[in-house]
Structure 1
Amino acid sequence: MMLEGASRLAVEAEAPVELRAGDFVLVPGMCNFTMSGSGETLDETLDPRTVTRLPGEIRHGDPDAPANARLLVGHFSFGSPDAELLLSLLPRFFHVRGDERLSALVGLVTDEARNERPAREIILARLLEVLLLETLRSTSGETVRYGILRGLGDERLAPVIRLLHEHPTREWTMEQLAGEAALSRSAFFKRFRRAMGVAPMEYLISWRMALARNLLMKGNIGIQEIAERVGYRSASAFSTAFTRFVGLPPSRYAASGAAP
């Protein structure tokens, strides 16, 4: 959250954006980015790891010079095997300008983090969850190029995506999915791929594999049962698909604790 001043954010493979006070940015995955003073040339000799720690803040650059921007920075950690699928479907970054609800939530997070109150950690965790959800909700499906938000923002595709999530074991065909969207087969395929960034059956396989990883990490469910739960008739067919998708056989994945 940009608290004061202005800055220029450049995320790899994306056009730079100008940030001003009140703007909120969320970068869902690990990627390279740079921040510089608005309108300034980036100093390539600056080492971002060189910082000055002051009471209540960390300074980049000259600690004696006036700050040209002040930001509140934090991070989210996902402990679920589904996180990889979620991140792959989200934009590289979200940029929300001057949203009062996000500003209010950030204020609550800041206040809670700076004070030692009972149940502080629990409240902070819940506030951060609400902050993440509010960010996703604040971003219109039309403002992102592709991904789950764009898909769920499409009135024809949203019911199909929900069906795939709720019934991954069904033997879906393109004709069935196109019918649910009330589109021709070719129109549905093009519309789904343009919105989601992947073809319908590719998305279904990705979702099944995310569910399978989650079940495997529980460690108390057999391969055959997992295969049936994610839409495969046999353990061998599931193992082949899982190995091709993940790069490890299901048994080795479960044994190694290979969560993403």
Structure 2
Amino acid sequence: MDQLSVILQRFSMSTDVFFTGNLCGIASFNREPNQGHLHLLRSGALTIVDEQGQSQLIDQPTVLYFPKPHAHRIIASEEHPPQLVCANVVYNDNSSNPIADALPSLLCFRLTDCQKMNQTAHWLFEEAFEENCGKQPMINALTDVFIIHVLRHVMHNELIQHGMLAGLAHPQLSKVLLAIHETPDHSWGLEEMAELALMSRSKFADLFKKVVGQSPGDYVIDWRITVAKSLLLQDKPVALVANAVGYENGSALARVFRKKLNMSPKEWLELK
């Protein structure tokens, strides 16, 4: 399985289109837990204002993707009202999503920057602005596909220079990250990871930290905690979760949780 599919299968995300049409005036979007926003501009012009008050005029077919909860406003042009498709991006595990966490607060690029993305947007706009049967599930499905094209575009063009997605885009580091993501229960050592990357231990460790932003060992621990959180939210027993992410028992997992999060798995779960 490829590196992106492993994460998308383990940490599901889906879209829910809530607006299609010409926007008038100002639309405000609040921070919503475990949710991002996607806006596709088909025509017209708008000004996007983020929660820091920074504004940007958009007057060409564009994708505006807020991967994480982020308050923002869209101000429609009076002279050229924007025609939009707007969707919520929902992270279904009720926890942080590693892909969203690896992205900047806003991704903004023209639809023409990527042929596949532009093609999918064309199909989406056709469905959104016509009255065909099965319209809502169709536009939701097309928006799900569109998000994957966005992620592919980011990885293939190395638009993210640091973090997990940068590592997944690297020809040697991606092999290691894929193996870690697929088997968090494996006892990963530096020598084995370096062999997978076809590097010496020192070169691999330096490159991994430079690209991903943390040491290989710390990444393995953080990934195990991320997977453990997802399993805990599925009401899996702590002992089973511990085994699934490479720890002998619940006590060992609890020690890691306390070291990283200052709370036990049970205490973390009670906050959710």
Q: How far 1:108 sits from its partner (Å)?
A: 2.9
The answer on 1:73 being equivalent to 2:86 is yes
* Residues 183-198 of structure 1 mapped to structure 2, 5 A cutoff: 183-198=199-214
Q: Aligned to 2:43, what secondary structure does the other structure show?
A: strand
The structure having more radius of gyration, on CA atoms, is 1
**2:61 corresponds to:** 22
Q: Which ranges in structure 2 are unaligned for 5 or more consecutive residues?
A: 1-39
Displacement after TM superposition at 1:95 (Å): 3.2
Cα deviation code 1:152-182 (max 9, x no counterpart):
2211101000110111111211222112112
SS, match of residue 67 in structure 1: coil
Bigger strand share: 2
CA 1:100–1:154 in 2, change beyond 3 Å: closer, same or farther? closer
- 2:247 aligns with 232
Deviation at 1:4, TM superposition (A): 3.3
Q: Does the 8 Å contact 1:102/1:134 carry over to 2? A: yes
Distance 1:10 1:154, change over 3 A: farther
Change beyond 3 A, Cα 1:117–1:237: same
Q: 1:103-141 CA deviation, whole Å, 9 max, x = no partner?
A: 332233334344554443432332121010011112235
Q: Give the aligned partner of residue 225 of structure 2.
A: 209
Give % identity.
Answer: 22
Contact 1:141/1:152, CA 8 A, preserved across alignment: no
Q: CA deviation at 1:257?
A: 6.7
Distance of 1:12 and 1:194 partners within structure 2:
30
Deviation at residue 227 of structure 1 after TM alignment? 0.6
Which amino acid is the alignment partner of residue 88 of structure 2?
H
Distance in 2, matches of 1:195 and 1:212, equals 25
Match of 2:158 in 1: 142
Q: 2:45, 2:60 within 8 Å by CA — same for their partners in 1?
A: yes
Matches within 5 A, 1:65-104: 65-67=78-80, 71-81=84-94, 83-97=96-110, 98=112, 99-104=114-119
Matched, 1:177 2:193: yes
TM, length-normalised to structure 2: 0.71
CA contact (8 A) 1:22 1:103 kept: no
- Find the residue that maps to 2:87 and give its secondary structure: coil
Q: Gapped runs of 5+ residues in structure 1? A: 34-47, 49-58
Provide the aligned C-alpha RMSD in A: 3.1
Q: What is the CA distance between 1:2 and its match in structure 2?
A: 3.4
Q: Is the 8 A contact 1:89 1:196 kept in 2?
A: no
* Structure 2 partner of 1:106: 121
How many residues get paired?
Answer: 229
2:10 match: none
Q: Is the 8 A contact 1:28 1:90 kept in 2?
A: yes
What's the TM-score, normalizing by structure 1?
0.73
How far is the alpha carbon of 1:207 from its aligned partner?
A: 1.4
Amino acid aligned to 2:257: F
Q: State the AA in 2 paired with 1:78.
A: Y
Partner of 2:42: 3
